[in-house]
Structure 1
Amino acid sequence: MRWHDRELDAVLFDLDGTLVDSAPDLVAAMQRLCRELDAAEPDAAAVRAAVSKGGRAMLRRGLPGLDEPRYEALLPRFLDIYAADIAGLSRPFDGVEALIAAIEARGARWGVVTNKPGWLARPLLERLGWSQRSAALVSGDCLAVRKPDPAPVRHACELAGVAPQRCVYVGDDLRDIEAGRAAGLYTVAAAWGYLDGEDPHGWAADWVAPSALALQQALQLHP
């Protein structure tokens, strides 16, 4: 990783699969939905792998074989179930709390750019105690476009008051890297995330971080 030649003003993150392991709550919501529909028990591993792809992708994994209109009809109920206990089992990934603390100790800022809708992203950050610490939250319904479009990442830089070339964007999905790169940020693929069976080394990220601790060390952040 070659970041040491730059000044670091901010680190922006994807949310699910990068900062937070939200899969346990999402899998639990899928299991409840399947019980309501008298459907077979969902493949928990398949649902977990699709978390970073969004609610529709999780429905396709948990309830395979339905047509797209049926998935669209089921999406609101799935999200309502999830929202009812949005952080019951969700926890930050190992090393994330220390990474955030080190960013703050450095005097830099951090924020979140997620395709998750705001009515879900905001309470999740609140439950984790991050809502007052984050310099920016750009959710999937904040703008007319979502990642992989770079506009949400650029907007987060504006909210945080930082220049893109002095920022890092970290995510566990190809669209995170595409959005961050197009917005002019240094991009880091979070290899600790869900990945959905993909090899992040093929995403053309500036670096692939094996862990949050490795990222903290690479950015020369000390608590």
Structure 2
Amino acid sequence: MSRASTRHAIFFDLDGTLSDPFEGIASCYRHALTQLSRPVPAATELATFIGPPLRQGFATLLATSDQVLVEQAVTLYRERYATHGAFENRLYDEVPEMLRALNDGTRRLYVATAKARVFAERIIEHFGLSAHFAHVYGPELDGRFENKADLLAHALEREGLDPASCVMIGDRAQDVRAARQNGLVPVGVSYGYGSKEELLEAGAVVICSSPRELASWIRSEGPR
């Protein structure tokens, strides 16, 4: 598909950027680890696994490279997540107002998340945000596009977008690195689960402390 350089676009991470998913994600990690008779870390440690891919998180928590065990853990996690965890979640304050401000006809909005696409779509719909987004991009359940750089490359190609006219917004280093690898403008938010130091080290061009500040920066400083 040919690139359409005049089409400006914003890609939003979901967890830690649009919504705070801690309760649901932590409860599902606890469920899977308990079912496997493995130690359950404290809440502060579980919070560090919000953002990275699920399989990567379990490989670390289980201290294993055994993919069969990792897939078993993912299955147990998703058993609870599908029925309860996805909705143990809340939008950050100012997010609906931010999306309305940015969805003004001059740019298109997308979600690009490490969360499985089928769950991300359900969450966006649950919060009544579907009308704001042209498409929700996330990994398939089998792990395809689990790497965020690959996910963004896929989205750019599918949408025919010029990366230089696009922004990627997220709260973790992998969001910033994926944006840089694909030529998007990388923007960090400090109200999620990544630190300012993490985001700056990864190469964020700016770090916003609230959705309102983020909307203001994009409208005044974002790609034209």
> Which TM-score band applies after superposition, normalised by the shorter structure?
0.7 to 0.9
- 1:170 pairs with 2:169: yes
Query: Which residue does the alignment assign to 2:154?
Result: 155
Can you give the 5+ residue segments of structure 2 that lack an aligned partner in the other structure? 1-5
Aligned residue pairs, count: 212
Q: Write out aligned runs for 1:50-129 (5 A).
A: 50-59=49-58, 64=61, 67-69=64-66, 70-105=69-104, 107-129=106-128
Query: Which residue does the alignment assign to 2:218?
Result: 219
Query: Which residue does the alignment assign to 2:179?
Result: 180
Matched AA of 2:46: V
1:197 and 1:51 mapped to 2: Cα distance?
Answer: 16
Query: Which residue does the alignment assign to 2:45?
Result: 46
Any idea what SS the aligned residue of 1:53 has? coil
- Superposed CA RMSD in Å reads 2.9
Report if aligned partners of 1:112, 1:156 keep a CA contact under 8 Å in 2.
no
- 1:32 pairs with 2:27: no
1:194 and 1:134 mapped to 2: Cα distance?
Answer: 23
2:210 and 2:52 mapped to 1: Cα distance?
Answer: 21
Any idea what SS the aligned residue of 1:219 has? helix
2:70 and 2:15 mapped to 1: Cα distance?
Answer: 21
TM-score normalised per structure 2 = 0.79
Report if aligned partners of 2:52, 2:114 keep a CA contact under 8 Å in 1.
no
- 1:205 pairs with 2:175: no
Give the deviation of 1:35 after TM superposition.
4.8
1:196 and 1:169 mapped to 2: Cα distance?
Answer: 17
Query: Which residue does the alignment assign to 1:4?
Result: none
Any idea what SS the aligned residue of 1:181 has? helix
Any idea what SS the aligned residue of 1:169 has? strand
Matched AA of 1:88: F
Give the deviation of 1:112 after TM superposition.
0.8
Query: Which residue does the alignment assign to 2:3?
Result: none
Can you give the 5+ residue segments of structure 1 that lack an aligned partner in the other structure? 1-6
1:209 to 1:197, Cα distance in 2 relative to 1, 3 A: closer
Q: Deviations over 1:45-101 (max 9, x none)?
A: 21122111132354467xx55544333322211122111124432112222221111
Query: Which residue does the alignment assign to 2:12?
Result: 13
Give the deviation of 1:210 after TM superposition.
2.0
Query: Which residue does the alignment assign to 1:3?
Result: none
2:172 and 2:202 mapped to 1: Cα distance?
Answer: 9
